[in-house]
Amino acid sequence: MKKNIDTYILQTIKKISEPAARVALALIFIWFGAIKVIFLSPANELVSALLSKTMPFIPFTQFIIILGIFEVIIGILFLIPKMARVAVIILLLHMGMTVLPLVLLPDITWSGLLIPTLEGQYIIKNVALIALGLGVVAHFHET
């Protein structure tokens, strides 16, 4: 009896884990992207500082809108099962850019050796998003 319950629970988790991961990623990217577009993101200051160091010739207001739309697109792609592979590729490119402040803006992202600030923690949590995205693709199968 216990084995049957355990098997049922595991089968249910297997069925819902991939769609749940896609919805979670979509929620995060659509939400965070949308608040960038309307200039309400708490990350705007960090993005502005990074932009001024890497591409000072691009106006912040234009960049943050484009970045926000880019994030919303990533989120939407995760909602479309057949687009999950594309979404993960774009996510990986995006995440590559999001780690730059850890190196280029250490005064903002680190309070000491291996002690991230809140902004640094915000960036480091992206490791979980990467793993979740890779998990989605690993369970992807064409129908």
* Segment 66-100, tens digit of pLDDT: 999 999 999 999 999 899 899 999 999 999 999 99
Burial of 112 by CB count in 10 Å (0-12 exposed, 13-18 middle, 19+ buried)? exposed
pTM (predicted TM-score): 0.88
Quick one: pLDDT band at residue 141, thresholds 50, 70, 90? low
pLDDT at 143: 43
Rounded to the nearest integer, the mean pLDDT of the chain is 93
Separation CA 70–CA 53 (nearest Å): 21
Instruction: Name which residue leads in pLDDT, 3 or 20.
Output: 20
Separation CA 33–CA 29 (nearest Å): 6
pLDDT at 139: 79
